[in-house]
Chains A and B, each alone.
Chain A
């Protein structure tokens, strides 16, 4: 019993440290990539290639004054960043990061837990993230924040449905809800669910972006219209919690996408050297993140009615068609 607690504790601590660092460096990665796509050079001052830029940003944010405007709902206002930050981290509890490895004679599974309803857990937890945004928008006592929060909630509700429906195709094919099982079923490249569920994959990516409020769907933030939307009134560490939460959410969606469609930690040499699974997993997630950033550098923001039309009239029917076709194939 004790060794299980110690093992889990170590895994949790490691995961959180790695995840937060990864979130920080995702900002660096994004700024660099977008800069080069726009013929700029991006952060380059914090020593080599601006690699310490996330640290500098973190220090700056930590030392900023924490401004609380007069007409905010204090409790909700204080709670909202936490509410948007925590679910983003919680998602990682079930993501399989690698196979079972042998560390100092211990059989260690490179995942916090192998929940038999892993996917359901992931989708339940990611849906909670919207509360942070809505509460932040509502409690800030600012019209821009309120508009951002309302937009975000409408968007989340619209895309949550399709998001949930897209993975049903995968579940039908795999006949399991456990993420470990899903990864085990994609041991060779041809077994990856991207090739068996191409439409499902495209829908998943689109909904995933909308879920995390990223580039073409970043209506909730919309710098040019709502001056940052729901987090307009936030400053200092509260703001940075939203920021980390957003990136952690991106990582969560990227890792879920990797697990569902790209075979998770599966890759060459995994059977002989189990630890290399971590590397494959990280590579696939980084590729996913690169796609996110690439998308941000490519597409302009949707208009609000376009967003709604797209969600209800395009994504939802397509997701339903995808389920029907998959179900028919499975039946036959």
Chain B
């Protein structure tokens, strides 16, 4: 008898409460992100993949001074200089080993030319270890510049430091 009463109590009073809870949650927005197709907006201070910036006329900012490589605690950056057609110094080879990189952002801080920036992208999967050594061509922003996520950050940084374009 006691068991019957408890069961009836559960079925009639307690269970509808549980049903109400699950039904209520049926209409809530899912917290799951439809990941590869939709991505979370990263924080503006997020440190993802590197970009090598250009001046507005398309010449590279990087002068291959080696300060980023010196600042790099993971020893992920390798570079060799060359002379550009105008007599400027620039990098002939500029490689970042994305397997070594710890995304600390010291290169960005060390750079005197505001040439290297850490962007928002964070998906680096590949099939070979060699594919993780990113070359200058992969790191440089495209020119003419597509609308790229770094643009606003770059402008803001220039504004903060009072940098004016050499070519402008």
Seen from chain A, the residues whose Cβ lies within 8 Å of a Cβ on chain B are 33, 35-41, 44, 202, 206, 294-295, 297-299, 309-310, 313-314, 317-318
Contact partner, B30, options A33, A41, A298, A299, Cβ 8 Å = A41
Asked whether, in the complex, the Cβ of B26 is within 8 Å of the Cβ of A318, the reply is no
Inter-chain CA distance A202–B12, complex, in Å, is 10
A-chain residues with CB within 8 Å of residue B30 when the two chains form the complex: 35-36, 39-41
Contact partner, A39, options B11, B25, B34, Cβ 8 Å = B25
Nearest CB of chain A from residue B158's CB, rounded to whole Å: 41
Contact partner, A37, options B3, B4, B25, B32, Cβ 8 Å = B25
Asked whether, in the complex, the Cβ of A298 is within 8 Å of the Cβ of B7, the reply is no
Contact partner, A313, options B3, B11, B21, B23, Cβ 8 Å = B3
Asked whether, in the complex, the Cβ of B4 is within 8 Å of the Cβ of A314, the reply is yes
CB-CB under 8 A for A39 and B32, given A309-B3, A313-B4, A318-B4: yes
Asked whether, in the complex, the Cβ of A297 is within 8 Å of the Cβ of B11, the reply is no
Q: How large is the interface on B (under 10, 10 to 19, 20 to 34, 35 or more residues)?
A: 10 to 19
- Across the two chains, which residue of chain B brings its CB closest to A295? B19
Seen from chain B, the residues whose Cβ lies within 8 Å of a Cβ on chain A are 3-4, 7, 11, 15, 18-19, 21-23, 25-32, 34
Between-chain CB contacts (< 8 Å), 26 pairs? A35-B30, A36-B26, A36-B27, A36-B30, A37-B22, A37-B23, A38-B25, A40-B32, A41-B30, A41-B34, A44-B34, A206-B11, A294-B19, A295-B19, A298-B15, A298-B18, A298-B22, A299-B15, A299-B18, A310-B3, A310-B7, A313-B4, A314-B3, A314-B7, A317-B4, A318-B4
Residue among B23, B26, B28, B34 with the highest chain A CB neighbour number at 10 A: B26
15 further A-B contacts with Cβ under 8 Å, apart from A39-B31, A294-B22, A317-B4, are A36-B26, A37-B22, A41-B30, A41-B34, A202-B11, A206-B11, A295-B19, A297-B22, A298-B15, A298-B19, A299-B15, A299-B18, A309-B3, A310-B7, A313-B4
Nearest CB of chain A from residue B30's CB, rounded to whole Å: 5
B-chain residues with CB within 8 Å of residue A202 when the two chains form the complex: 11
Contact partner, B26, options A37, A206, A309, Cβ 8 Å = A37
Inter-chain CA distance A36–B26, complex, in Å, is 5
Nearest CB of chain B from residue A64's CB, rounded to whole Å: 26
- Give 3 closest A-B pairs by Cβ, nearest first: A314-B7, A298-B22, A40-B32
Nearest CB of chain A from residue B10's CB, rounded to whole Å: 10
Inter-chain CA distance A35–B34, complex, in Å, is 13
A-chain residues with CB within 8 Å of residue B27 when the two chains form the complex: 36
B-chain residues with CB within 8 Å of residue A41 when the two chains form the complex: 30, 32, 34
A-chain residues with CB within 8 Å of residue B28 when the two chains form the complex: 39
A-chain residues with CB within 8 Å of residue B29 when the two chains form the complex: 39
Inter-chain CA distance A162–B28, complex, in Å, is 38
CB-CB under 8 A for A294 and B23, given A299-B18, A310-B7, A317-B4: yes
CB-CB under 8 A for A33 and B34, given A202-B11, A299-B15, A313-B3: no
A-chain residues with CB within 8 Å of residue B21 when the two chains form the complex: 298
Inter-chain CA distance A92–B31, complex, in Å, is 40
B-chain residues with CB within 8 Å of residue A299 when the two chains form the complex: 15, 18
